[in-house]
A = this chain, B = another copy of it.
Amino acid sequence: MAIEIYNANINIFLKPTVNDPQGITVKSALQSLGFFLENVRVGKFIEISLEANSREHAYEIAIDMCEKLLANTIIEKYTVNIDE
């Protein structure tokens, strides 16, 4: 199969039980601007153009990248989306 470039969108965020000081700070900043909100969680968004044989293969590679480097799976979770 031909190697193609796929675009993976990865969101990495802290697990709900983990304290998120950045989110707390953003929450109070938004509230002081007059917004009404319950909760804010701040995470990372990583966009990767990677080489793969197929869409499924690209998905597997992106998961592998998260497990090996991008996410700290003890305190973080992630979602992977491959663009069409």
The chain A residues found within 8 Å of chain B, CB to CB, are 5, 9, 11-13, 26, 29-30, 33, 35-51, 61, 64-65, 68-70
The copy count of this chain in the complex is 2
In the bound complex, CA of A30 to CA of B19 (Å): 28
Closest residue of B by beta carbon distance from A41: B47
Question: Looking at chain A's contact residues, is the secondary structure mostly helix, strand, loop, or mixed?
Answer: strand
Contact of A35 among B5, B29, B45, B61 (CB under 8 A): B61
> Is B43 within 8 A of A45, CB to CB?
yes
Residues from chain B with a CB closer than 8 A to the CB of A70 are 26
> Is A42 within 8 A of B40, CB to CB?
no
In the bound complex, CA of A39 to CA of B48 (Å): 6
